[in-house]
Amino acid sequence: MTDISDNDELPTGWQIGQTSDGRVFYINHQTQKTQWEHPITKKVKVLPKESGEKKTNIVFFDEQQKRSATLDLRQTSTKDLDPSFGHQSNALQILYGTDLANKTAVVTGANSGIGFEIARSLAKHGCQVILACRNLTKGEAACSKIRTEKEDANISCRKLDLCSLRGVKQFVEQYRQEALPLHLLILNAGVLNTTFKLTEDGYEEMFQVNYLAQTYLAAGLLSSMLVTKSDQPPRIIAISCESHRVESPGISTINGIATDRLSPRSPHHFDHLLSYGQSKLCLIMFIAEFRRNYPQIYSVACHPGNAINSNLTRDSYFYQFLVLLTRPFSKSLQQAAATPIYCAITNRVLKEPTIYYNNCDEGCPSTFVYNHKLTEDLWIQTQSLIELAFRKQPLTVV
Ligand SMILES: NC(=O)c1ccc[n+]([C@@H]2O[C@H](COP(=O)([O-])OP(=O)(O)OC[C@H]3O[C@@H](n4cnc5c(N)ncnc54)[C@H](OP(=O)(O)O)[C@@H]3O)[C@@H](O)[C@H]2O)c1
C-alpha cells in the first residue's frame, strides 16, 4: 500500500489526501480549499497508482469531475470537520482549532524526538509546557527552538534525570512547592540500550528510565493533578511500544512478578530487546492499575509508531541502519506525536474503557494488561523497589 504520509510537515489546520490516480492534494480547513502544492515547500507530488488493496479505501467519488479520493472532499472543506484520525495524521492536525491556554503539561524527555514534537505541538496551541529533561542545555535549546516558531510560547525546562530516583523526588517536591497545576502528564522519556547498565539506584537502566522512575514521578505528581481545577479530568499518557508483546522474563501467569528478572542485576541475564519490551509492558500494566486506583485521573498508554527516526537508536549502528531502510514507510516525528496528542485532548477517549491506543484508535495490548492479579502484584512490587532504593546503597554487579 502506498504511504502518502509527508515528511514535509504541514502547518496547523492542513490535511493531506490522495486521489485514486495517485495525485497528492492538501486541504486547508481554514479557507475550506484544496490545492495540489504543498503549502510550505510548494512541491507537487504524484505517487504510484493505488494497488487493488488500497482501492477499497476510496470514500468519495465526484460525479461531475469524474474523480475519486480517499477522503470525502465535501467534508474536508467544512470547518466543523472531525476527521477520523489514523496512522497518517499528525499532532498539529489533531490539535487544529484547540485552545490549550488554560492547561499545563509536563512532558518527560521533551528535548528530542517524539517528546519534543509533543511539547512543541502543545505549546503552539497555548498550553503551558514544562519540558522535563535530564540535560538542561538540551532542554533550553529545545525551548529556544519552539520560541522561534511561537515567540510567546509558555514553556520552561526543568531538570529530571530518571536514572536517579532522588532526582525525581526533587523534581516532584519543587513542583508541589510551587503549587503548579497539572492537566497533562506525558510519560515519554525512554532509552533503548544494547548494553547492560545500572543506574545509581542499582536498577537496570531501561527498567528504571522507561518504567520505574516514571511511575514514581506519576505517583509523586498525583496530588498536583488531583487539586488541579479543570472542566475535564487530568490525564496521564504513557508512551509505550508495540514491542511490549515480546516475551517478558519477569512476568508470567504461573510465577507472577519476578523483580530480579524485571531488573537483572548482571549482564548474564540481560537481553536488551526483552528488557526494553518488558519495561514497556510494565508501563501499560501500571497504567491499568493506576486507572483502577485513581479513576479521577484518565490514564492511558499508547504506541507512537514503528522505527521512528529519532535518537532512540543512538546506541546501535545496526538499528540506525534499520530505521534508515524503513524510513520511507515509517511515521515522521509529527505523526509519531499524533496518538499521544490524540489521547491527551480528544473527548472520545474519555468515554472508552481502552487502556492502549495505536494510530489514534483503540489498540489491543498484551493479555497481561488485563490480568488484575499481575497488575496488582506489579504495583506492590514497584513500590517496594522504590522504597528499597531509598533505603539501600546501590546493588553491585555480580
Ligand atoms: N522511536 C521509535 O521508533 C519508538 C517506537 C515506539 C516507542 N517509542 C518510545 O517513544 C518515546 C520517545 O522516544 P524517541 O523515539 O523520541 O527517542 P529519543 O529521541 O531518544 O527521545 C527520548 C527522550 O528521553 C530522554 N531520556 C533518556 N534517558 C533519560 C533519563 N535518564 N532521564 C530523563 N530523560 C531521559 C532523552 O533525553 P536525552 O536527549 O538527554 O538522551 C530524550 O529526550 C520513548 O519512550 C520510546 O521508547 C519510540
Same domain membership, residue 66 and residue 135: no
Residue 205 domain flag = yes
pLDDT of residue 280: 98
Name the average pLDDT for the chain.
87
pLDDT of residue 30: 64
Same domain membership, residue 264 and residue 317: yes
pLDDT of residue 261: 95
Residue 86 domain flag = no
Same domain membership, residue 137 and residue 238: yes
* Ligand 1 site, residue 189, Cβ cutoff 6 A: yes
Residue 2 domain flag = no
Same domain membership, residue 279 and residue 142: yes
Interval between CA 330 and ligand 1 midpoint (Å): 17
pLDDT of residue 351: 80
pLDDT of residue 269: 85
DSSP string, 172-219: HHHHHHTT---SEEEE------SS--B-TTSSBHHIIIIIIHHHHHHH
| Structural domain count, the chain | 2
Residue 81 domain flag = no
Interval between CA 89 and ligand 1 midpoint (Å): 21
Q: Please indicate whether residue 96 is annotated as part of the active site.
A: no
Residue nearest to atom 1 of ligand 1 (CA): 308
CATH number assigned to the domain comprising residue 228: 3.40.50.720
Residue of 114, 303, 326 best suited for mutating to test ligand 1, as the one with most atoms within 8 Å of CB: 114
Residue of 135, 140, 198, 310 best suited for mutating to test ligand 1, as the one with most atoms within 8 Å of CB: 310
Residue 80 domain flag = no
Residue 356 domain flag = yes
DSSP H/E element including 156: strand 155-159
Interval between CA 62 and ligand 1 midpoint (Å): 44
Residue 82 domain flag = no
DSSP string, 332-391: PHHHHTHHHHHHHH-SHHHH---SEEETTEE----GGGG-HHHHHHHHHHHHHHHHHHHH
pLDDT of residue 48: 67
Same domain membership, residue 151 and residue 62: no
Same domain membership, residue 284 and residue 169: yes
Same domain membership, residue 172 and residue 202: yes
Same domain membership, residue 167 and residue 26: no
Long-range contacts of 25-31 (CB under 8 A, 24+ apart): 25/69, 27/71, 27/73, 27/76, 27/77, 29/76, 29/77, 29/79, 29/81, 29/96, 29/97, 30/79
* Ligand 1 site, residue 283, Cβ cutoff 6 A: no
Same domain membership, residue 95 and residue 22: no
Segments of the chain with pLDDT less than 50? 1-3, 5, 50-82, 394-398
Domain that residue 39 falls in: 14-75
pLDDT of residue 195: 96
Cell numbers representing residue 157 in the block: 525546562
Same domain membership, residue 110 and residue 58: no
pLDDT of residue 83: 53
Same domain membership, residue 294 and residue 226: yes
Same domain membership, residue 386 and residue 253: yes
CA-CA-CA-CA dihedral for 68, 71, 74, 75, to nearest 10: 170
